[in-house]
Amino acid sequence: MSETVALDFEVKSPIERVWHALTDSTTLSRWMLFKTNDFRPVVGHTFQFRDAPGWGGAVDCEVLEVDEPHRLSYSWATGDANGPAHSTIVTWTLKEGDGGVTLLHLEQSGFRPEAKQEIGGAKYGWTSMLNELRNILAEE
């Protein structure tokens, strides 16, 4: 059995703008910890997130689902000198709320139950990045 990180956020921005922030390579580099990526919202496209401060590795990904502007899913594989890559699935679900608010649900599934540090790190990292996403969308 695997573990899942699930987070819900309200973003004061229309669903189309939130979708753009999740799927535009340049905008991703503004709010994600990783400052370089070659993401494209095309099923089957393989890409990497790179250049995170203090970490020289990369996250290898593949786009699994694109249902604009409601759902986006991709694999997320990391590894290091201690072992091979472990893959999880990141899924974004967007719903229109009242008054121009977008309800954003994030799930990262497939964590090994014994990977408590990875799970905690994912919760912390995604929360920080999603707060930065909110800030960027508030600026525009």
Q: What is the pLDDT of residues 13-57, one digit of tens each?
A: 999 999 999 999 999 999 999 999 999 999 999 999 999 888 888
Res. 83: pLDDT tops 80: no
Residues 132/31, Cβ–Cβ less than 8 Å = yes
| Count of the separate structural domains present in the chain | 1
Residue 104: partners with Cβ closer than 8 Å, 6 or more residues away: 8, 9, 10, 11, 18, 92, 93, 94, 130
Residues 97/103, Cβ–Cβ less than 8 Å = yes
Q: Which whole-number Å values give the CA distances from 92 to 53, 54, 79, in the listed order?
A: 24, 26, 23
71 pLDDT tier (thresholds 50, 70, 90): very high
CATH number at residue 52: 3.30.530.20
Res. 10: pLDDT tops 70: yes
Query: What percent of the chain has a predicted confidence (pLDDT) above 90?
Result: 80
Q: Which whole-number Å values give the CA distances from 108 to 17, 30, 46, 111, in the listed order?
A: 22, 21, 18, 8
The SS3 of residue 32 is coil
Res. 80: pLDDT tops 80: no
- What is the number of other CB atoms lying within 10 angstroms of the CB of residue 117? 8
Query: What percent of the chain has a predicted confidence (pLDDT) above 70?
Result: 94
DSSP string, 114-137: T-HHHHHHHHHHHHHHHHHHHHHH
Residue 119: partners with Cβ closer than 8 Å, 6 or more residues away: 3, 5, 111
* pTM given for the model: 0.93
DSSP-assigned letter for residue 100: G
Range of the domain at 8: 3-139
Q: What is the pLDDT of residues 92-135, one digit of tens each?
A: 999 999 999 999 999 999 998 888 888 999 999 999 999 999 99
Q: What is the pLDDT of residues 124-135, one digit of tens each?
A: 999 999 999 999
